[in-house]
Amino acid sequence: MSVYLVAVVDVHDPQEFRSYVTDVPPIVAKFGGRYLVRGGELEVVEGQWPVPRVTVVEFPTMEQAKGWWNSEEYRPYRELRGRTARTNAVMVQGLAE
């Protein structure tokens, strides 16, 4: 069953964050992930949306998603993101096929 990482990100240091944008996709792919949404234009249609950037990454399984999140390859980028942006993220299982 697919698992989705949904993150809302408010980047406050775009220059340093740039390496996250370029270097992380190959690491995501190594764990079977693929980007479905990555910081595209958004339009609020209901309620309030305080952050300008949304990312959705699909992984085949929760194990692969957690493997990526906890991997040695991703750790320095997770730390970089923590320095350069404010993020809220969840991993959520998709519907059964």
pLDDT digits (tens, 9 = 90+) for 48-81: 887 889 999 999 999 999 999 999 999 999 999 9
Q: Is the pLDDT of residue 97 over 80?
A: no
- Amino acid at site 49: W
Predicted local confidence at residue 51, as pLDDT: 80
Predicted local confidence at residue 83, as pLDDT: 96
DSSP string of 8-41?
Answer: EEEES-HHHHHHHHHHHHHHHHHTT-EEEEES--
Closest CA to 5 of 46, 61, 45: 61
Residue in the block written with tokens 């996250």: 20
Domains of the chain: 3-41+50-93 (3.30.70.100)
How far apart, in whole angstroms, are the C-alpha atoms of residue 29 and residue 26?
5
User: pLDDT for 4-53, tens place per residue?
Assistant: 999 999 999 999 999 999 999 999 999 999 999 998 888 889 998 878 89
